[in-house]
Amino acid sequence: MKAKFKPQRILWLDMEMTGLDPVEDFPIEVAMIVTDWGFTEIAHFEGAAHWCSKKMQARFDKNKSFWYGDGATAREQLIAQNKATKITKAQLERDILAFLDEYFDDTPILLAGNSIHQDRRFIDHWFKKFSKRLHYRMLDVSAWKVVFEGKYGKKFAKPEDHRALEDIRGSIQELQYYLKKVKS
């Protein structure tokens, strides 16, 4: 009989990417928050890898509808961050793995977030060692959003910062909002 998957902690993750294509686009900012099931923040991580500025700008230009409207401020912040960091993708993955080692044992990790499958596609493509640490099950807040908006007309007013760490905190608040609706 297969052992049951009962994680004690949740790894909340958000990435800021140049676009949504995990092959053509690339992750420019990664943030993670470790919580328990009461959603108490235990630790957080923020990291960024340096990418060729011309390639990054070309991908931003390709995805104008996202990055040149409400995302313009975040785009400028991410460009400045990219210029300031010298961390490679390989070093960023090592930093991520070190963070995971500090807060998780060897069992597969439950990944959580909004539309987390999209972030997972980038993890699978760009961070293979990190990908191997994750369980196939994920906690996707977007599924809750779809049900509550479609069935009950309830909508959570989540701020759209387009910065990874604050987006995660918004996702945690959003899930708490839906769970309170279930209790009432």
Domain ranges of the chain: 10-183
DSSP string over 16-32: EESSS-TTTS-EEEEEE
pTM for the model stands at 0.92
- Lowest model confidence (mean pLDDT) among 28-37, 45-54, 138-147, 153-162: 153-162
Q: pLDDT: is 72 or 113 the higher one?
A: 113
177 catalytically annotated: no
Top-tier CATH class for 10-183: alpha beta
Average pLDDT, integer, range 101-125? 97
pLDDT tens readout for residues 7-53: 999 999 999 999 999 999 999 999 999 999 999 999 999 999 999 88
Look at strands 10-17 and 109-113 and give their pairing. Answer: parallel
Q: pLDDT: is 158 or 27 the higher one?
A: 27
One-letter amino acid identity for 157?
A
Catalytic pick among 136, 152, 177, 178 = 136
